[in-house]
């Protein structure tokens, strides 16, 4: 079989606006996730390095499961982000949600571009699980491979639902930005984290656990499979906020302050597993109650309020968060230690259940990928995202998956980024700012 090109194609999802990459033009990568937005200007010279970057928290529920819910809230945050950073307003925007589809097609080795496009459109009728009249599609030839049926042209096809794309672009345009291109966030993830190392053999699973959980399986730099497998840390924060009747920003801070390597006095095991989950159910009645703080005797653990603070409903907490300024949101997101007490069983339970859910979805994805034509085994997991900053998260995920998990972050050009920017959260935005992976 002929080797495929060592290149991640940047798929420009073509719209009536005729968006697309222009040669020789540098674009800012824009990663929009639930609870978080990041923009990166990259320098590519043998490797992809983040040269300038900016990030801000997003208001609650402005983006949900990777889809824009509140265009005005997202636009306001984007305007503030680019006003503060001074970055170019020509952007390449990442797309990651359940309403995108990637398929690898094998077609006759057609050389004429129009004939190839017609063949792809014909195959798309059977391969794309959405009405084609409400889909935007693009494809990228990967090269000719030898098969038992003779030479075949291998093509990556991407489709996305039009209404979802239009809402995203409307919010970006309303912020005064020029969306010069769209790309799958999974492709950008591979571009920024791929390392052409001899020991990195076989297929790699790239997992970005952040506002949502984005998965991509790649062979070299060629994406073989991708899906959004979970709500990520933002979903966990939402569960905690509802359980504790606190603002989402405070719940984010509580999760960020946890160290999974050291269990609380009474809480779940630091390493989630299916066996542990079963034991929890079987031993629930025999479990010892969590010790209560002397200052809150008689109250259920994790349910007391901070001293002098009146309890809030979830709706009141969210309304309070929406009324915060950008400075207040940023302060809350950036300084968890100032707002988060020592982790308790509530916080641990939410995190460990989240890890268990993510690992279950990852295993299902691996099983599905393995069963497909051209599928294969994964040799390791490369993890990025905000979860990388939680001590013990990668170890817990590795124990649950049974596959080696390595943490990786983007490189920085001449230490040019401010210390307030988390490198863990820049992988997708950095990949969006580049067109090709390092060779």
In this predicted structure, what is the pLDDT of residue 3?
A: 26
What's the domain range around 127? Answer: 1-195+409-439
Residue 328 corresponds to which tokens in the numbers above?
């207040």
- Count of domains for the chain: 2
The pLDDT of residue 112 is 84
Residue 299 inside a domain? The answer is no
294: in domain: no
Query: Is residue 44 located within the same domain as residue 144?
Result: yes
Please tell me the number of Cα atoms within 13 Å of 301 on its side-chain side: 18
326, 425: one domain:
no
**102 and 179 both lie in a single domain:** yes
Is 324 a member of any domain? yes
Same domain, 80 and 96: yes
Per the domain annotation, does 109 fall within a domain?
yes
Indicate whether 143 belongs to any domain: yes
Is residue 350 within 8 Å of residue 239, measured between CB atoms? yes
Average pLDDT per 10 consecutive residues for the chain, totaling 439 residues: 34 40 68 96 89 94 94 97 95 94 87 87 87 86 83 89 94 96 93 79 92 93 88 93 91 92 55 42 42 38 42 54 50 45 76 94 92 82 96 95 94 86 95 76
Q: What is the CATH number of the domain that holds 343?
A: 3.30.420.40
Residue 293 is assigned to a structural domain of this protein? no
**pLDDT score at 312:** 52
Same domain membership, residue 344 and residue 254: yes
Q: Are residues 88 and 210 in the same domain?
A: no
Q: Which residue has the tokens 């990786």?
A: 408
Backbone angles phi, psi at 107, to 5 degrees: -125, 165
Helix axes 345-371, 232-244, angle to 10 degrees: 150
3-class SS of residue 76: helix
Same domain, 207 and 187: no
Burial of 123 (0-12, 13-18, 19+ CB in 10 A): middle
Same domain, yes or no, for 190 and 209? no
> What's the pTM?
0.78
Is 289 contained in some domain? no
Q: Are residues 156 and 228 in the same domain?
A: no
> H helices of 147-298, where?
162-174, 185-193, 232-244, 248-256, 274-283
Query: What is the predicted pLDDT for the residue at 428?
Result: 97
Co-location of 29 and 148 in the same domain: yes
**Which residue bears the tokens 């983006």?**
63
Same domain? 432 vs 352: no
184 and 204 belong to one structural domain: no
Q: Is residue 15 part of a domain?
A: yes
């Amino acid at each position: 079989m002929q080797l495929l090109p060592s290149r991640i194609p940047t798929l420009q999802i073509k719209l009536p606006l005729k968006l697309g990459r222009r040669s020789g033009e540098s674009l800012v990568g824009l990663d929009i996730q639930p609870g978080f937005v990041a923009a990166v200007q990259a320098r590519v010279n043998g490797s992809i390095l983040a040269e300038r970057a900016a990030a801000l928290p997003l208001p609650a529920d402005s983006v949900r499961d990777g889809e824009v819910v509140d265009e005005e809230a997202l636009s306001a945050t984007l305007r503030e982000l680019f006003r503060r950073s001074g970055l170019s307003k020509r952007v390449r925007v990442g797309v990651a949600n359940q309403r995108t589809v990637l398929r690898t097609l094998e077609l006759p080795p057609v050389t004429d571009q129009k004939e190839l496009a017609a063949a792809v459109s014909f195959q798309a009728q059977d391969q794309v699980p959405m009405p084609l009249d409400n889909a935007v599609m693009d494809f990228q030839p990967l090269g000719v491979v030898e098969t038992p049926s003779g030479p075949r042209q291998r093509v990556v096809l991407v489709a996305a639902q039009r209404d979802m794309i239009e809402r995203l672009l409307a919010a970006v345009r309303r912020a005064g930005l020029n969306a010069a291109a769209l790309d799958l966030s999974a492709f950008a993830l591979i571009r920024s984290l791929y390392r052409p190392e001899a020991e990195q053999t076989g297929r790699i699973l790239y997992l970005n656990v952040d506002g949502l959980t984005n998965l991509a399986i790649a062979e070299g730099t060629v994406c073989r499979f991708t899906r959004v497998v979970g709500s990520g840390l933002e979903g966990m924060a939402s569960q905690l906020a509802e359980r504790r009747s606190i603002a989402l920003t405070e719940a984010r801070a509580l999760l960020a302050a946890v160290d999974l390597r050291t269990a609380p006095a009474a809480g779940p095991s630091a390493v989630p597993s299916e066996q542990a989950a079963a034991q929890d159910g079987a031993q629930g009645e025999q479990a010892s109650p969590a010790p209560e703080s002397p200052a809150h005797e008689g109250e259920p653990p994790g349910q007391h309020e901070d001293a002098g603070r009146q309890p809030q409903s979830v709706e009141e907490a969210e309304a309070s968060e929406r009324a915060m300024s950008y400075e207040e949101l940023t302060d809350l997101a950036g300084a968890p230690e100032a707002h988060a007490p020592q982790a308790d069983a509530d916080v641990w339970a939410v995190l460990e259940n989240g890890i268990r859910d993510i690992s279950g979805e990852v295993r299902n994805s691996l099983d599905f990928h393995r069963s497909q034509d051209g599928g294969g085994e994964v040799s390791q997991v490369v993890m990025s995202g905000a979860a990388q900053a939680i001590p013990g998260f990668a170890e817990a995920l590795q124990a649950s998956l049974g596959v080696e998990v390595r943490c990786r972050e983007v490189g920085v050009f001449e230490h040019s980024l401010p210390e307030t920017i988390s490198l863990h959260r820049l992988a997708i935005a950095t990949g969006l700012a580049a067109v090709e992976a390092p060779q």
